[in-house]
Amino acid sequence: MRELLGKVSNIDPNITQNVYLCETVQCQECKKTVPVGIEVVMIKKVGASKKVLKHEYYCRAHAYDSHGVDYESIAHRR
């Protein structure tokens, strides 16, 4: 399962961060493996093609200690 929550734009109009809700993620911050987490994919448009710059994975277990809550809330607002 992988569901797009939203896209976050950067200063450069050719670079966007796609925020996904996905299964079985190991958080990069706390190293916990969670059943449902946040995947952030930074993509750069180069002409007609797209290039993946980096992947990031975060937990979303609780709002007070979640490392992916910032990306999730920004993606839901847009």
Residues 29-47 pLDDT 10s: 888 888 888 899 999 998 8
Q: Which residue has the tokens 């980096």?
A: 54
Is pLDDT larger for residue 53 or for residue 8? 53
Bridge partners (DSSP) listed for residue 18: 7, 41
And the tokens for 34? 């969670």
Amino acid at 35: P
Q: Which of 7, 8, 39 is nearest to 22 (CA)?
A: 39
Residue 7's pLDDT band (cuts 50, 70, 90): confident
Local structure of 77: helix, strand or coil: helix
And the tokens for 39? 């995947």
Given a contact cutoff of 8 angstroms between Cβ atoms, the answer to whether 38 and 57 are in contact is yes
